[in-house]
Structure 1
Amino acid sequence: MNILVIGGNRYFGKRLIALLRESGHGVTVLNRGSSPAPGGIEQLVADRDDEASLESVLAGRSFDVVVDQVCYTPRQAEIALRVFRTRTRRYVMTSTVEVYEYEDSAAPVAESALDLSAVTVDTALPWEDPEFLDAHYGEGKRQAEAVFAAGAPFAWASVRVAHVLGGSDDFTGRLDHYARRVRAAEPIAVPAVNHPATYVYVDEIAAFLAWAVASEFTGPVNAHSHGPLTTADICAEIEKHVGGRVVFRRVDVGEISPFSFARSYGMDNSRAVSLGYSFGHSAEWLAKAVAETVGASVAETAGEAS
C-alpha cells in the first residue's frame, strides 16, 4: 500500500515506519522538517496547522492509508477532514487513554464508555497555546476524535494508546524520574489511593499500529498489553536494575509522580482481541523495558560525569 505517516519520526512512530517499510509498503512522512525522515523514506515538509501549506504539498497526491500520529486538537482534525477528503480511503488516528479522563471507573474501560456524539467540540479554545494544549491533552484528543466520528468521508479509526514503556529513546523522562529517586532512596510522591493502569511496550504499540493500518475496522479501539501495572510494580523493577531503595510518600494534595494515579486508567482491550490482535503480557516485557530506558539514562549520566 501507499501510506502517509503524519509526524512519527521518534519513539514508537519511527518503529512503525520501519515495520511498514519492512512489510513492503510505500511510506511517505509528512512533518515540519525539524527532523529528517529515515533513510530512503520520502519526506514532505508542511505545517499541519496550515491548511494551504498542506494542500500545496499534497497537490496531486493520494494514499491508501493515512496514519496521523500528531492530531491533538479539533482544529487539526477539521483541517485533516478537508485536506484528505479525496486523498485517502482510510485514516488511522493515534489517540490516547487520556480520552477517558472523565470516565472514572474501577473496572477496565471499554471504547463504548466514551460517547463521541456527546462530546462538545470547541475550536474557539486556545488550542494554539502550548501550555493550554499540554494541560488539555486528553480533551484535545477527545474533541479531535469527535470531529472524525461525526463526519469522516473516509474509513476512520482511532487507536487509544495506553501509557508506553521501553526503549532507549524514551524522551518522556518518566522512568528516569523514578530511577533517580530509587537510586538515592528519595521519596516518591504518590496519591493516598494509588490505582493501577494499563501499559504497552514500545515495540508492541508500533506493531499494533502497523496491524491497524492493514485492517478494515473503524471507530475507536483500545491498545494495551495484558496485565495492569502499579507504581510499585514499576519501581520494584527499577530497584532491581539500579539498586537503592523505593520510598513512597503518600500525599492528599499536590503534585504526584508520573505513572501514579488517583483514579483508574485501566482500559479493556477486548475489542482489539475480538478483531484478531494478540497482545503480550506486561510481565513478559517490563524488565526489558526498564533495562532499556533506565540503562540509557545511566549511560548518559555517566557520560556527562566523565
Structure 2
Amino acid sequence: MQRICVIGGSRYFGKLLVERLRAAGHQVTVINRGSSTPPAGVEHLVVDRDDEAALVAALGWRTFDVVVDQVCYTPVQAAVAARVFGGRTRRYVMTSTIEVYDPATAALPALPPGGPVSEETVDPATWRVAMDLPWHDAAYLEAHYAEGKRQAEAVLTRAGGFTFASVRSAHVLGGGAREFTGRLAHYTERIRRGEAVAVHEDPLPTVFIHYAELADVLLWAATGSDFAGPLNACSDGQLDVRDLAAAVGGSVGREPVYRMVDAGAPASPFSVDRPYAMSNARAKSLGYPFTRTADWLPGAIAEALTAPTAVPTT
C-alpha cells in the first residue's frame, strides 16, 4: 500500500484513476475545490490548489509516496506545487498533453519528417519559463494551453525535492457521457444527421488513447514504475480525421460529408494540418503494453451514440 495524493481527480479519467488506486488498496487523498465527492474510503481535502497558504494548512502533517497532479496548467501553479510538496513526497507525476508538441504554438526543433514525435523534442529541462505572463487570466490561459503545460513541466523538472515525471497524453476518447469535451460527440451527431464536418484538405494523422487506458497509464506511472521525465501515452495506430469520421459513419450507416477549410483555419476536432503525432516507444521500452486504437474505437463511438448527454453541436 502506498499513500497517494491526487490533485483534481473529480471527473473523466482522473475520477477513474482515483477509483483504481483505491481498488488496488492504496491510501488515497483527493484535493479539489469541492466540485465532487470522491468514492468512499478516499480522504477529501477541499482547497484551492492556487492558494498556497490554504493548501499548506489543509495538508497539515500529511506526507505521500506519490502525488498525481491532474490539473496543473501553468508555471505559477507548478511553482506553488513544488514549494508545497517538496519534502512531502518522493514522486510527483503530472498529467500533460500531446499539445506540447504542436509546432503552431511554439518554436520547436525540427520534427522528424513523416515520423512520430519522441519526448526529447520538448525538453522541460531547457524550456524557458516566464512567470510574469498573465497566467491568472482565463482567456490568456485558454489561448496558451500548450505553453502553460510546457512551462509547468519545466518548473517541476527543475524543482528538486522529488522525482518528477510527466505523462503526455494523446487525444482522449471514450466514456460516453463521461467524455465532457464533446469532441467525439461532434462527429457522431453531425454524421448521424448528415451534416458536413469541417476538415483540412490534407489532414495529417494523430494519435488517441481511451480514457480507461490513460487511467491505467497514470496508475502505472504512479505505483508501478520509477521513470523520470516526460513520457508519451498513446494507443498504437495513427488516425487522421477522415479515418475517424469513416469509423463513425460505419457505425451510424451514413457516409460522412466534408467541408474543406484552408490550412491554418479552424476545423473540427482532431483535423490536424501540421505533424506532431507522438511515439510511445519510450513507454513500451519501460514495459507498458498499449492497446490498439482500432480495437477500442468502435466501442467508444457506440458509447457516444447512446450517451444521454449527446446534443447537437455547431
Counterpart in the other structure of 2:294: 283
Q: Distance in 2 between matches of 1:146 and 1:129?
A: 20
- Structure 2 CA distance for partners of 1:251 and 1:301, relative to 1, 3 Å: closer
Quick check: 1:175–1:294 contact (8 Å CA) kept in 2? Answer: no
Of the structure 1 ranges 163-172 and 144-153, higher mean CA displacement relative to structure 2 is found in 144-153
- Structure 2 CA distance for partners of 1:156 and 1:117, relative to 1, 3 Å: closer
Counterpart in the other structure of 1:167: 175
Counterpart in the other structure of 1:122: 130
What is the CA distance between 1:166 and its match in structure 2? Answer: 0.4
Is 1:149 aligned to residue 157 of structure 2?
A: yes
Quick check: 1:184–1:245 contact (8 Å CA) kept in 2? Answer: no
Q: Distance in 1 between matches of 2:276 and 2:121?
A: 13
What is the CA distance between 1:301 and its match in structure 2? Answer: 5.3
Of the structure 1 ranges 172-181 and 22-31, higher mean CA displacement relative to structure 2 is found in 172-181
Counterpart in the other structure of 2:18: 17
One-letter amino acid matched to 1:107: G
| Residue 182 (structure 1) aligned to one of 191, 197, 206 | 191
One-letter amino acid matched to 2:137: D
Quick check: 2:240–2:272 contact (8 Å CA) kept in 1? Answer: no
Matched ranges for 1:12-161 at <5 A? 12-102=13-103, 103=108, 104-105=111-112, 106-161=114-169
Counterpart in the other structure of 2:233: 223
Three-state SS of the structure 1 residue aligned to 2:282 is helix
| Residue 205 (structure 2) aligned to one of 177, 186, 196 | 196
Quick check: 1:182–1:243 contact (8 Å CA) kept in 2? Answer: no
Quick check: 2:231–2:283 contact (8 Å CA) kept in 1? Answer: yes
Counterpart in the other structure of 1:257: 268
One-letter amino acid matched to 2:230: P
What is the CA distance between 1:38 and its match in structure 2? Answer: 2.0
What is the CA distance between 1:39 and its match in structure 2? Answer: 2.5
TM-score, scaled to structure 1:
0.94
Three-state SS of the structure 2 residue aligned to 1:48 is coil
One-letter amino acid matched to 1:183: R
**What's the % identity of the aligned pairs?**
52
Quick check: 1:98–1:138 contact (8 Å CA) kept in 2? Answer: yes
Gaps of 5+ in 2: none
| Residue 248 (structure 1) aligned to one of 243, 258, 261 | 258
Listed one character per residue, the Cα deviations across residues 2-53 of structure 1 (whole Å, up to 9, x for unaligned) are 1000001100011111111111101110001122122331100110111001
Q: Distance in 2 between matches of 1:295 and 1:138?
A: 32
Q: Distance in 1 between matches of 2:33 and 2:311?
A: 31
| Residue 217 (structure 2) aligned to one of 182, 188, 208 | 208
**Alignment length (residue pairs):** 301
Three-state SS of the structure 1 residue aligned to 2:125 is helix
Q: Distance in 2 between matches of 1:294 and 1:265?
A: 29
Q: Distance in 1 between matches of 2:276 and 2:299?
A: 23
Gaps of 5+ in 1: none
